[in-house]
Amino acid sequence: ETGVTQTPRHLVMGMTNKKSLKCEQHLGHNAMYWYKQSAKKPLELMFVYNFKEQTENNSVPSRFSPECPNSSHLFLHLHTLQPEDSALYLCASSQAYTGTGDTEAFFGQGTRLTVV
């Protein structure tokens, strides 16, 4: 069973809708990530949060808005999306460097998003 939980697992939304994806990790990690994976394409990093602070925005359009209220929760707020935004959205967490080394990333099961 994964220590990273994402909801919802599936989401269909219209281009004018507003929705949010939720990620929760129970591993005590201090870094969380949003990735996008389109069909038959590699993982694309979207955002990185370390210690609740956003440390990376990988040129993501503003229609995607992340929020990290604490080190255990990560949201991705969606508004006015386009059909090409349909993809698998994966959340991951890891223990970023604290002087004793980094750990690997653990992924949630993803939210499969379809924009119609």
Nearer to another protein, 7 or 55 (CB): 55
Count Cα neighbours of 26 within 13 Å in the Cβ-side half-sphere. Answer: 6
Question: Which CB, 75 or 107, lies closer to another protein?
Answer: 107
β-sheet bridge partners, residue 87: 113
H-type alpha helices, the chain: none
Closer residue to another protein in complex, CB, 13/105: 105
Q: Shortest distance, CB of residue 35 to another protein, whole angstroms?
A: 8
- Of the candidates 110, 102, 96, which has an alpha carbon nearest to the alpha carbon of residue 23? 110
CA distance 35 to 41: 12
* Closest to another protein by CB, 24 or 79: 24
Min dist. Cβ of residue 2 to another protein (A): 8
Residues that bind another protein (CB under 8 A): 2, 31, 33, 42-43, 45, 48, 50, 55-56, 88, 90, 92, 94, 96-97, 101-102, 104-110, 112
3-state secondary structure of 84: helix
